[in-house]
Chain A
Amino acid sequence: MQTTRGFIQRFFILFSSLCILSIPLPYSQIIDTGTLFSPFTEHIVLWVGDNVLHIRHSYIAKIVSDATGMYILVFINLVISIIVSGISIYYARKRQISSQFSYYFNSFISYYLALQLFKYGFDKVFKQQFYFPEPNTLFTPLAYLDKDILFWSSMGSSYSYSLFLGIAEIIPACLLLFNRTRILGGIIALIVMLQVVAINLSFDISVKLYSLFLLMLSLGISWPGLVNIFQILILHKTPNSTSSIVQPSYLAQNQKLSYVLIKALVISLIFYEASFKYFQNMNFNGDHAARPFLHGAYSVTTPNNNYKRIFIHSRGYLIFQDRDDQLKDYRLKCNLRNKTLYLSKTGEPEARLQYQYDNTDSCLVLSGVLNKDSIKLIAKLIDTDTLPLKRDGFHWTIEGSAKQY
């Protein structure tokens, strides 16, 4: 029993540490070890994929969300952790990990999980993650949307729900930072992450592997609390106090001041890292962020042509929608001096369209040659603020809701 427990402890510590160090994450202040080691890890991933797992089809070896490369990396970490834990438990004099080491490791993964929950939570609170749908998504028939973009767009249409989800992630993140509230934070994080994993699996959102990893960390942190809850509610026993990870008592003596200062520094650094980009851009609502020139949806008014709408996407794309609602996107570059739009797409020659935009009647005129066809399109900007999806409708009664139509 002690051997199994010791093995699980060692495996958890090794596997978590390897994943934390090797998975790249976008940080602004903290050193991203995943990106730092990525030339080395991607080389190993490629070698294992080709020579050990014998993957014959082409795959993405980069360590990005749910790419084959990330699955291979997690597989490598898993194998290393099992082997090293097995060897370690075989040769170790003590089967159990010391309580002092457990405490420090528990603090480390709690801070890591708190940082991730803060980042995802702030992204939701400040409307950077679930953003209001782009103009082309707004006018794509529902049946043509995949489940992931549909879920993203639905979430993006409600600020209050995005705020709620964000706060639900920030609360456990705050609780995870302190010893007294860590287990409660872990249990709430476990519930939150369980919901996130369910969404990612059900809506085919490609953060499955990483959300499962965060779920595993939450489970590891909340485990002593879950054991106690099981003992109270199911076994009707007094909980075993030794199941909790406690702070080593020697810290209360000579290292008390340094402990307090280091902990306070780490907590403020986590906050600084998690909120850096919002303060840097002074943007606390992604939906109100500045949009590029011509951004929006345009209804084509020119008769006898195949195009129904034109969209300018915030990340520099121009999208045409034809009469059958089929969409075609082009990478967009804009020369404001020559009033020219440069449209490029893989396998097609670059197109140059002259544009005219009249602010008074919001009319966009495009002319030029696209795919060997000469086009001249007159399109009018659609006021997306008046669309039902953007209406700030909240009604306690169905009468109020029905009045909107």
Chain B
Amino acid sequence: MKRIFTLVSLLLLLFNTTAQTKIIAHKSHSGTSGDFSVSDYDDNLGLSLEFKLQLDTVIKLTNNSVIEIFHLPHNNSERIVDTMTNHPVFNNPEVSLDSMKKRYPSVEFIGFDTPTKTQKKSKKQRMRASLYMSFSDESTNKGSGLTILKGISLLLFVVTALLLWRNQARTQNTHK
């Protein structure tokens, strides 16, 4: 588990959550004027570019190691590859391929066998696996974050439409 943590930490070096100007981004790491290059920073106009890695493919190497292939949201051509050991989901024998596909519908899984009838798990085992996934995997939360946002946006759409419609009706009555 500790090893997983350290490998994940390495990936965090690529993450960029803060927003600033390119010059401030350069000065923030005590960069000198001679080293400055605009292409080194994704920030522009004090706003940050979305820079969260998106998982494309998971390749199973062995029972305790997988290769994860990511792409950047704004750069579909560039790929970032990372090898993970003892991944809490992808190397978990209690998590079936179907469950992984349900959790990560846009991810391609390579080298994961579909379980045979004899390998099928009991209800208790499936429940345990699903609980483990919901607590151990950070990406699960991220997916649900967007679902929440979609829900809020839909609610906003309905409320705004109703308010505007009411306002229109009121304006029409006033004109009459």
Beta-carbon contact of B18 and A129 below 8 Å = yes
Q: Does the CB pair A292–B9 fall under 8 Å?
A: yes
Cβ proximity bits A268-312 to B, threshold 8 Å, 1 near / 0 not: 110110011101111100100111110000000000000000000
> Does A283 lie within 8 Å of B157, measured CB to CB?
no
A271-B25 Cα distance, complex, nearest whole Å: 27
Give the residue name and chain of the B residue nearest to A62 (CB).
Answer: B38
- Contacts A268-B153, A336-B10 hold; do A263 and B164 have CB atoms under 8 A apart? yes
Evaluate contact between B48 and A329: CB separation under 8 angstroms: no
Question: CB-CB contacts of B45-56 with A at 8 A, as 1s and 0s?
Answer: 111111010000
CA separation between A327 and B24, bound complex, in Å? Answer: 16
Please report the C-alpha to C-alpha distance between residue A65 and residue B31 in the assembled complex, in whole angstroms. Answer: 18
Is A26 within 8 A of B47, CB to CB? yes
Say whether chain B's binding surface is mostly helix, strand, loop, or mixed.
helix
In the complex, chain A residues whose CB is within 8 Å of the CB of B22: 64-65, 206
Q: Mark B134-156, 1 if CB is under 8 A from A, else 0.
A: 00000001101110111011101
CA distance A152 to B168 in the complex (A): 45
B152 partner residues in chain A, CB cutoff 8 A: 271
B29 in contact with A329 (CB, 8 Å) = yes
B166, closest chain A residue (CB): A260
Contact residues in B for A292 (Cβ distance below 8 Å):
9-10, 12-13, 15
Instruction: Give chain B interface residues in 38-70, CB to chain A under 8 Å.
Output: 38, 42, 44-50, 52
Residues of B13-38 whose CB lies within 8 A of A: 13-25, 27-32, 34-35, 38
**How far apart are the CA atoms of A314 and B11 in the complex, in Å?**
11
In the assembled complex, which residues on chain A have CB atoms less than 8 Å from the CB atom of B156? 267-268, 271
CB-CB under 8 A from B146, the residues of chain A are 276, 279-280
Q: Is A146 an interface residue (CB 8 A)?
A: yes
Please state if A334 and B48 are interface contacts (CB–CB under 8 Å).
no
Nearest CB in chain B to that of A126: its residue: B17
Residues of A within 8 A of B32 (CB): 329
- Interface of A, helix, strand, loop or mixed by DSSP: mixed
Say yes or no for A264: interface residue by CB 8 A criterion. yes
Q: Is the CB of A293 within 8 A of B73?
A: no
Nearest B residue (CB) for A269: B153
Q: Does A233 contact B (CB under 8 A)?
A: no
Decide if A129 touches B49 in the complex (CB within 8 Å).
no
Q: Is the CB of B50 within 8 A of A205?
A: no
Complex CA gap A283/B16 in Å reads 12
Q: Which residues of the partner chain B approach A166 to less than 8 Å between Cβ atoms?
A: none
A346 to B40, CA, bound (A): 13
Q: Is the CB of A280 within 8 A of B148?
A: no
- Are A252 and B47 interface neighbours, CB within 8 A? no
Contacts of B20 in A (CB 8 A): 129, 131, 152
Q: What is the chain B residue whose CB lies nearest that of A257?
A: B165
Contact mask for chain B residues 74-109; partner A; CB cutoff 8 A; 1 contact, 0 none: 000000000000000000000000000000000000
Across-interface contacts of A293 in B (CB, < 8 A): 6, 9-10, 12-13
CB distance from A189 to the nearest CB of B (A): 16
Q: Are A281 and B17 in contact (CB under 8 A)?
A: yes
B157 neighbours in A (Cβ, 8 Å): 264-265, 267-268
When the two chains form their complex, are residues B24 and A149 in contact, meaning their CB atoms are under 8 A apart? Answer: yes
Given the complex of chains A and B, what is the CA–CA distance between A96 and B29 in angstroms?
53
B117 contacts partner chain A, Cβ-Cβ < 8 Å: no
Give chain B nearest CB distance to A157 CB in angstroms.
14
Q: A134-B29, A277-B50, A280-B149 are in contact. List 10 more A-B contacts (CB 8 A).
A: A26-B44, A149-B28, A260-B168, A279-B146, A281-B17, A290-B12, A292-B9, A293-B10, A293-B13, A328-B30
A residues near B, CB below 8 A? 23-26, 28, 60, 62, 64-67, 119-120, 123, 128-129, 131, 133-134, 136-137, 140, 145-146, 148-149, 152, 180, 205-207, 210, 249, 252, 256-257, 259-261, 263-265, 267-269, 271-272, 275-277, 279-283, 286, 289-293, 313-317, 319, 327-329, 332-334, 336, 345-346
Sample of 8 A–B contacts (CB below 8 Å)? A128-B18, A129-B46, A133-B28, A149-B24, A289-B17, A315-B13, A316-B14, A346-B35
- Across chains A and B, which 6 residue pairs bring their CB atoms closest together, nearest first? A293-B9, A264-B161, A279-B149, A327-B30, A268-B157, A317-B29
